[in-house]
Amino acid sequence: MPKNIKDILIEMKNMSELMVDLAYSALLFNSKDAAEEVIKLENKVNRLNYQIKKESLLAARTVEDAEKLTALLEVGEATETIADSAKDIADLVLKGIKPHPVFKMVMEESDEVITRIKILEGSELSDKSLGELLLATRTGMTVIAIRRNESWIYGPDKNTILSTDDSLIVKGNVTGGSLLLQLANGETKLEDLEYEEFTED
Amino acid sequence: MPKNIKDILIEMKNMSELMVDLAYSALLFNSKDAAEEVIKLENKVNRLNYQIKKESLLAARTVEDAEKLTALLEVGEATETIADSAKDIADLVLKGIKPHPVFKMVMEESDEVITRIKILEGSELSDKSLGELLLATRTGMTVIAIRRNESWIYGPDKNTILSTDDSLIVKGNVTGGSLLLQLANGETKLEDLEYEEFTED
């Protein structure tokens, strides 16, 4: 049973962080796809919070149990509220509001970049797992979500295998983003990357 | 004036993301310091949202202006709500609740790690800026906040210079975390790091 609550909590934590990222990304890229994904995730977070409540109620046997479990309930509620707020941001995109030019300016000037990168034919990124590629270690870029054909893979992990034509939504700094773009275009090979990092110092 | 709104928006976006990170980190490490920092940030986000409202009202001259500016107001509100929820999580830590063992389990099993790393005497990380160190590119680890003596530096950027005895709160994967720990201990030199990355393939 604690195993169950633990898995739910991990999923809620990862999802709420992903939703905040995706919601801002939807707003800044004016992407209805990303916004729709936030809506789906919000439903999922709500269902997970319902499960947290149910499991916590079942787990409480003693006063001490109950004291410890109230914290879980409160974290569940807070996470659901974060998810709701991300949904509010995504709703703006889906309502088709005219985006204020300031959003584009934020995107351009933020120290952190969120960008969409497509894996082209011939890129070494294809048919490899994120763990194998060590993308975060090598480029400093985190893959937030992957658009594959008509579906999204959100919160990819080290076992997720990339394919040609995948669109990655990635987050990181400008330098890392341009390295990753070159890898995805097939302009740069993985072995060149180490060389580039070396010369950057 | 739009310049002003843009800067406020960047700060709100970065702060709300930082607060969610810090709040979970406070909970998982049972850190009152980190929790108190979340409370301070929440006050700051509230003040920024007030400024967004004021600037938006002053900027609206035409119906079209107003249509575009409502989106800004709504993003400001959503960000404030995210900040409030992060504060709710931090409050649990400050109230001194008995943490449920499940929080520790989440920390241990999550694919992503949030950890605190102290820079020891003799580490190459001292007296260099984050931009110069290329930590994110080299290790895949993002510095969320820095504890220096009695104060915190939150949302450090590429110009932030690290010092001996700084405690870094960092986020990333397990591999990157152990690389960074070795750098901070002085066990590994920056030039060794490239070699290690090379042999990891």
A127-158, pLDDT tens digit by residue?
999 888 888 778 878 888 888 887 777 778 78
B100/A68 Cβ within 8 A: yes
| Cβ contact B67:B59 at 8 Å | no
CB contacts under 8 A, B 161-180 vs A, are 172-173, 175-176, 179
Q: Quickly state the pLDDT bin for A165 (edges 50, 70, 90).
A: very high
Task: Compare all CA atoms of chain A with the CA of B94 and give the residue at the minimum distance.
Answer: A71
For the segment(s) A2-94, the CATH number from 1.10.3720.10, 1.10.287.610, 1.20.58.220, 2.30.30.100 is 1.20.58.220
Strand order in the sheet with B167-172: B113-118, B167-172, B142-148, B151-154
| Cβ contact A146:A196 at 8 Å | no
- Residue A196: pLDDT over 50: no
| B148-176: pLDDT as tens digits | 887 777 778 788 999 999 999 888 777 88
Find which of B100, B133, B141 to mutate to test the A interface (most A CBs within 10 Å of its CB). B100
Amino acid type, B41: L
CA pseudo-torsion sign B153, B158, B159, B165: positive
Superfamily of domain B111-199: Regulator of K+ conductance, C-terminal domain (3.30.70.1450)
Does ipTM exceed 0.85? no
Please list the residue range(s) of chain A that carry CATH number 3.30.70.1450.
111-199
| B45-96: pLDDT as tens digits | 999 999 989 988 888 888 888 888 888 899 999 999 999 999 999 999 898 8
Please list the residue range(s) of chain A that carry CATH number 1.20.58.220.
2-94
| Cβ contact A91:B70 at 8 Å | no
| B100-139: pLDDT as tens digits | 777 777 666 666 667 789 999 999 999 999 888 888 778 8
Please list the residue range(s) of chain B that carry CATH number 1.20.58.220.
2-101
Which of A144-147's residues contact partners 24+ apart within 8 Å by CB, and which partners?
Answer: A144/A18, A144/A21, A144/A22, A144/A25, A144/A114, A144/A169, A144/A170, A144/A171, A145/A18, A145/A22, A145/A34, A145/A37, A145/A169, A147/A33, A147/A116
| B172-195: pLDDT as tens digits | 777 888 889 999 999 988 887 664
**Treating both helix axes as pointing N-terminal to C-terminal, what angle do B63-94 and A63-94 enclose, rounded to 10 degrees?**
170
CA dihedral A93, A99, A101, A103 (to 10 degrees): -20
Q: What does CATH list as the number for B2-101?
A: 1.20.58.220
What is the structure's pLDDT at B26? 82
